[in-house]
Amino acid sequence: MKKVIIKFLEFVSKYKSYIIVVIIFIASGISLVMENSKNKNNITINDNEIVNKKGLIAVYITGEVNNPGVYYIDDGMRLNDIVELCGGFKDTADLSEVNLAEKLNDSDKIYIPKLVNESNEEIDLEENSNNDYGKININTADKFQLKELEGIGDTLADNIIKYRNKTKFKNIEDILNVEGIGQAKYEKIKEYICI
């Protein structure tokens, strides 16, 4: 046994620098493997990294909700929870067709239907009540509808939604309070918006 230890120590002293390099190489490899295993659940969409942590699921909600889109939520959440996250229902939502207690699963697509009248035509409460047929209601329009307005892109549409989530627009001129919308832009869109 003593001979083995002596030979081992001689080997270590003779090849000390090589052994150190090998140890550093192994440690680096272990570090890289651990880092990759941490990041393997991350997804990159449009240069934005989304961390898909254990227990989160992705659900797409569309239709008659204020802010449709994909939401990352805790596993086990119900439809009512995601409706709250997306700003609630529009006035035109047909709630008789919706089960708010429905348990959500990963990659579900939820469509909230519009109210229909007896002749099976969709009802647009905003258009009927305001006589603003064809105009975009800045209190209820989703991001995609807002982007139909001249000069309104992703950033301004997001700014409008953020503003109205805090304070509803009382008149169309209130849109001037939204960051990034000045008088010139207002003049271009005022004929196409309503509340």
User: In CATH, which of 3.40.50.1980, 2.40.70.10, 1.10.150.320, 3.40.120.10 is domain 129-195?
Assistant: 1.10.150.320
- CA dihedral angle for residue 39, residue 40, residue 41, residue 45, rounded to 10 degrees: 80
Q: What is the pLDDT along the chain (195 residues), one digit of tens a residue?
A: 777 788 777 877 888 888 887 888 888 878 777 766 555 445 444 344 445 556 789 999 999 999 999 999 998 899 999 999 999 999 888 888 788 889 999 888 899 998 875 445 555 544 444 445 678 899 888 888 898 888 899 999 999 999 999 888 899 999 999 999 999 999 989 888 998
Tell me, what's the pLDDT at 117?
57
Tokens 């006035």 correspond to what residue? Answer: 91
User: In CATH, which of 3.10.20, 3.40.50, 1.10.3470, 1.10.287 is domain 45-123?
Assistant: 3.10.20
Amino acid (1-letter code) at residue 195: I
Tell me, what's the pLDDT at 161?
92
